[in-house]
A and B are shown apart, each in its own frame.
Chain A
């Protein structure tokens, strides 16, 4: 009888695992199918894209024309580089300054703490795009138009509210004992923040990084307005050149945007590893 129970239990476990895999595989297919459509079509000739959007490229329909156009028109290596600089620099500033502010808000009691917290959180609720004209005026006045700095500043400001909001909540959870032990050992507040606290909130930093990075990488609006020069174009803006008023070069659009997925995917992989590692490490302690 006990064997029977064990067997039932085991078969239940197997059944559950199969069901879990079935659901996950189904959803993975749903998630990847459109991406698959994009990537296969980026390797096809224009007529083949619209004749047979679903079929794989074959000898007749295979075409690298899109990729060729992308490489020929404009300096896509430079655009990639610009996008990376802007994304990484903004991310660094959002994470560092956001964590500093969150630390101040969650660690110290001082007058205006509540107000400062609310003030910083309000930015979550209103799209920065509305401030475009004033931002552009400011960048013109400071000579930052057509520089990557302008973009970095805007994205930093845009990312900070959510970063402070999420990070300060995570900071709450860090035990006071640890920090107080540090203070007794004579560590400065800066060291406590940099050496003790920052490593502990790694998963939260990774979460914020993922949230912050995606809209920056994909943003079209601010590059278009603040830095449309050839030297400062980002990849998303660069790809726009193929979307014309009447004629859209879908080969080139698909090729350039397929290429643009790669760097941001790599960044995501890095951060999500950090996230999972940080949480699992924390849970063990």
Chain B
């Protein structure tokens, strides 16, 4: 019996073993990514375009579940089974992969010259010497609104905070739409589309962000508490039961035409275009006082790098160079409106909403999310704490001052410049 079963295992392993991957003569590159959403775009547009130019290189786009991407990727890299090309999260997640020699340095990559220092900042060593991922796209924060809802309540696009709340009041008064479509169940929206969306106007974008990193400002200072004050006011404009409203719930609320304003990231554009049957517009986060400079979060979000252990470094570099090209930028930006290319050459975009978002780069000062660079390196993790704090402030469980103090204490417990 035992003999038989062992034979069965042997047979099984040979059968299944040979059913595994068969490697082609030419280089086949596997791309690791968390972007399930983009599977068809890669298969139908990006990969054919690249393969047409490089007939001897084949690409395979193999996205995994977004929530598990980091854990899965790290395990695979650790064990040596990861793909040739790695889609990079911004900042520390990728930096730690580079430091562990999982990502190859891209200092000499020609395509890198097409990117500005700001674009490269998310995927470069702290001293700025060695980049390790090619920047692919950034996302811009703002608000998407239902044009019909605004007409219904007779309000105009707000430019200042006062106008913003007046508009929300008018919509609430009229009662046909939920003024703001956001929930706190999944937590991250409150921080990403709340705190880091409206915040840069108060902490003056890069100026405040850098001051925080240098330890010149504290999270208990007014510019960092003020965004919480605004969030605390949002509570009255959210839908009933927002505490249990999930992220997809909010998306559906808005696209089904039941909510007026959606605190957004530009990545929503393509999904909203497909699902919403009404006219949409977008506005940048309203400034505190009329005439203030506006700041937007133009956040470096996706890059792509090379597995240091790839068997096909030349082919991988050829692909990375192509990612730096104008062709890729235009292809990517137009297939995925809302993911804005980071290369120096301007790209023409067709989508009106995407055009609106990117037009803010002209009139406002861009910055990135305040918690991403350096400040989320320790325990407690500032980004995760900010999720939690933003939610408590919206719910009214914590005052803006208390939230600021808690974040500051957490940061100061491990970050020397803040001690």
Interface residues of A (CB under 8 A from B): 46-47, 50-51, 73, 89, 93, 96-97, 100, 132-133, 136-137, 139-140, 143-149, 152, 190, 193-194, 220-221, 224-225, 228-232, 240-248, 250
B66 and A143 contact, CB distance less than 8 A: no
Top-8 shortest CB links A-B: A244-B37, A136-B79, A245-B66, A244-B36, A137-B79, A247-B271, A148-B16, A50-B252
> Which residue of A89, A232, A244 is within 8 Å of B66 (Cβ)?
A244
A245 and B35 contact, CB distance less than 8 A: yes
Least CB distance from B197 to A in Å reads: 15
A240 and B65 contact, CB distance less than 8 A: yes
A133 and B79 contact, CB distance less than 8 A: yes
B64 CB within 8 Å of chain A: yes
Least CB distance from B242 to A in Å reads: 16
B75 CB within 8 Å of chain A: yes
Interface centre among A136, A143, A228 (most CB of B within 10 A): A228
A-chain residues with CB within 8 Å of residue B17 when the two chains form the complex: 143-144, 147, 149
Interface centre among B65, B79, B252, B267 (most CB of A within 10 A): B79
A245 and B21 contact, CB distance less than 8 A: no
B76 and A225 contact, CB distance less than 8 A: yes
A-chain residues with CB within 8 Å of residue B248 when the two chains form the complex: 248, 250
**Given A144-B13, A246-B271, A228:B62 Cβ within 8 A:** yes
What residue in chain B is nearest A240 (Cβ atoms)?
A: B65
Q: What does the 1/0 interface line of B244-286 toward A look like (CB < 8 Å)?
A: 0000100110001000000001011011000100000000000
Interface residues of B (CB under 8 A from A): 1-2, 5, 9, 12-13, 16-17, 19-21, 34-37, 39-40, 62-66, 68, 72, 75-76, 78-81, 248, 251-252, 256, 265, 267-268, 270-271, 275
> Which residue of B16, B63, B75 is within 8 Å of A132 (Cβ)?
B75
A46 and B36 contact, CB distance less than 8 A: no
Least CB distance from A40 to B in Å reads: 18
Least CB distance from B302 to A in Å reads: 10
A-chain residues with CB within 8 Å of residue B256 when the two chains form the complex: 47, 50-51
Give CA–CA (A230, B63) in the complex, Å. 11
A-chain residues with CB within 8 Å of residue B75 when the two chains form the complex: 132-133, 136, 225
A136 and B39 contact, CB distance less than 8 A: no
- 26 A–B contacts from the bound complex (CB under 8 Å): A47-B256, A47-B275, A50-B252, A50-B256, A93-B5, A132-B75, A133-B75, A136-B79, A146-B20, A146-B21, A146-B81, A147-B16, A147-B19, A152-B12, A190-B1, A231-B21, A240-B36, A241-B39, A241-B63, A242-B36, A244-B36, A244-B37, A245-B35, A245-B36, A246-B267, A250-B248
B-chain residues with CB within 8 Å of residue A241 when the two chains form the complex: 36, 39, 63
